[in-house]
Amino acid sequence: MTTIFTRIIDGELPGRFVWRDDRCVAFLSINPLRAGHTLVVPRAEVDHWVDLDPATNAHLMSVAQEVARAQMDAFAPTRVGLMIAGLEVPHVHLHVVPMDGVHDLDFDNAARDPDPAALDAAAAALRGALRSRGADGVSD
C-alpha cells in the first residue's frame, strides 16, 4: 500500500519541500515540534531504517546534515536534533529539529494546527539558507 509520504512525494498531497533529489526529499512536518522541523524521506518505501541499503542510509544522513546546517543559519537554535522514530508512518523518515532543549523533541508538544503562513515562512527561510550554503538539492 502506498504510504502518505509517497503520496506527498508524488504530488497527490501537498508538501512544503525544501530538498529534492533522485534518492530522497525533505519537507516540513505538518505538526512541527519547532519552526523548521523537517522530515528527510527516501523515495523508496522502506518501513524500518535498519532495512535501508547502506548507500541510501548514508545519503539520508548527508541530506539531514545539510538541512541541519541550514536550520542553524535560518533559526539559530542551540542545537539541531535528529530522530528516527518511525512509529506513525511505515516509511523511513528522519526528523531534523531545531532545538534549544530536550523538551523540544517531545512529540506531545507538536503543533496540532500550525499557521500555514508560518510554515510557508519557515520553508522559505530554510530554502534560502540551503541556497546560501550552496546546497545541490534545494527545492523550488
User: Which pLDDT tens digit goes with each residue over 107-117?
Assistant: 999 999 999 99
- As separate numbers, helices (DSSP H) first and strands (DSSP E) second, the chain gives 3, 5
Q: Which of 59, 93, 95, 103 is catalytic?
A: 93
Rounded to 5°, the CA angle 91-64-76 comes to: 130
Rounded to 5°, the CA angle 117-105-114 comes to: 20
Burial of 97 (0-12, 13-18, 19+ CB in 10 A): buried
| Residue 83 resides in a domain | yes
Q: Which domain holds residue 13?
A: 4-130
User: Which pLDDT tens digit goes with each residue over 11-68?
Assistant: 999 999 999 999 999 999 999 999 999 999 999 999 999 999 999 999 999 999 999 9
| Residue 96 resides in a domain | yes
Q: What is the CATH number of the domain that holds 14?
A: 3.30.428.10
How many separate domains does the chain show? 1
Tell me which DSSP letter residue 112 carries: S
| Residue 136 resides in a domain | no
| Residue 54 resides in a domain | yes
Catalytic site includes residue 48? no
Tell me, what's the pLDDT at 1? 73
| Residue 135 resides in a domain | no
| Residue 38 resides in a domain | yes
| Residue 103 resides in a domain | yes
| Residue 65 resides in a domain | yes
pLDDT above 90 (res 87): no
